[in-house]
Chains A and B, each alone.
Chain A
């Protein structure tokens, strides 16, 4: 499992895609290996649509099957074929926001973090390789309201646990991978 983190516009998505593609190519079972892209973003407006179009164009021709899964990420497993698979999950910041704010606010930040980690462990067990993209949302120094603070804390917890679980952790800065683990 590989964890890729970075800020906005850092180039983390394209690095994560390259990683998934090269993991598939390195595999001895390259021919039967299916690549899945788990998309978590919910679209509400034109900006969201543009963002999705940009990401689709980035992935074009790389052979990913896209599964839209804004919440309950392990449900995506039921939508995949059997056999060898590489999963690229993008991204934890959307997934966490969807889990925390879309529902009727029934979950605490710790429950959200626990549920997401449980799902990701399941994904990791049932895939040959898992590449997870997450965001650095921690360094703008702004004191936010309670809801956003809870979100930042949940993200921090999830990122730490993902990093502990991952075999490799990479931070992308200005498109350049910096290996952290």
Chain B
């Protein structure tokens, strides 16, 4: 699995599409592919933070769910915004969301074969 992180609107998806020669219509946006449809390789998941949020809203456990997903699909590129670099939100859900996205990224980065951070469209390989 490869992890691509960075601020919003930094060109993360474009960077991935160009680097791996992929088409945008193969990208999963804010969702994980269901088993049966997982034919395209590599699987690209964009806006991963939005998936985390939607799983939290539905009362799921994004930490466990993403790890078991990866057990079945290691050939995967996960693109996620870094959302933790601001003032601590007043709303408890927003606080929890921000922190959980951060901690899930730490776990994903440990598992990833490569981690790239994108700023101004430029990738910096940090692992």
Contacts and interface: CB of A to CB of B under 8 A. Distances in A.
Contacts of A136: 84-85
Interface in A70-119: none
- How big is chain A's contact interface, by range? 20 to 34
Interface string A36-78: 0000000000010000000000000000000000000000000
Contacts, number: 80
A73 B124 CA distance: 36
Given A7-B85, A9-B105, A10-B84, A173 B117 contact: yes
Contacts of B87: 137, 140, 142, 144, 148, 151-152
B88 interface: yes
A144 B124 CA distance: 31
A136 B7 CA distance: 13
Contacts of A141: 86
Interface stretch (B16-24, B54-62, B64-72, B96-104): B96-104
Interface of A: 6-11, 47, 135-142, 144, 148, 151-152, 173-176, 178
